[in-house]
Amino acid sequence: MNLEVNRDIYSDSVISKVVYWLSGNYAVERKLNGNTEIMNITSIKDEPIDEKTLHHKVFQMLNDQKLRNIIEDETNDIRTILFAKAFADFDDLTEEDLTE
């Protein structure tokens, strides 16, 4: 089964994560043709592929991972600030505080 994925919409990172998620049941060969990535998907379990279901599953996974990346990018600064604040209080600890 071949699927075409637009690289202008889905980054290499997003596609690579989806390929990894599929690797338990499928072998995926990737070819780049301009801004289109062609994914040749074959079952490694010698079972027939329900192409409609797999097509839906792959694009659901692509959209899920793309959204995860968007959220990560948008919240990165907030997470950095929270980590810095959480560990800032430990700068004032002395060895005596740790042994109590």
pLDDT of 98 over the 70 cut: no
Q: How far is CA 44 from CA 2, 11, 20, 27, 67, in A?
A: 15, 25, 14, 6, 29
- CA dist 24 and 28 (Å) reads 11
Write down the H helix ranges in 1-100.
12-22, 51-88, 95-99
46-50: average pLDDT: 86
pLDDT at 83: 75
Which tops the pLDDT comparison, 48 or 9?
Answer: 9
pLDDT at 67: 97
Q: What is the pTM of this model?
A: 0.76
pLDDT at 94: 61
